Amino acid sequence: MPDQGASVSGAVNAGCRDCAWFRTMISRARETGDDRSAADLEALQGRHLHLGHNPDAGSGGKGLRGV
């Protein structure tokens, strides 16, 4: 099964250091069979992509909300 999160972030901005970090960590989690951590990282990467690479998301600055 291809790593969909990595391909999406690579298509968005291959030069973003945060995207590269997420791709690396998701890949490492998958290599070790840690699907839960990979899923958690993919969710965090999705937030990064939404806030960091989406021009319609506004200026951001909200940070992560507490639970």
Cα gap 38→44, rounded to integer Å: 10
Structural domain contains residue 63: no
Domain count, the chain: 1
Assess contact for 40 and 28: CB atoms under 8 A: no
Query: Could you tell me if 41 and 51 are in contact, meaning their C-beta atoms sit under 8 angstroms apart?
Result: no
User: Which residues touch 38 (CB under 8 Å, ≥6 apart)?
Assistant: 26, 29, 30
pLDDT tens-digit map of 3-61? 454 445 445 556 789 999 999 999 999 999 999 999 999 999 999 998 888 877 665 55
User: Domain span at residue 47?
Assistant: 4-52
Model pTM greater than 0.85?
no
Whether 67 is in a domain gets the answer: no
Q: Where are the alpha helices (DSSP H) in 13-34?
A: 17-31
What does the alpha-carbon distance between residue 65 and residue 67 come to, in Å, rounded to a whole number?
A: 7
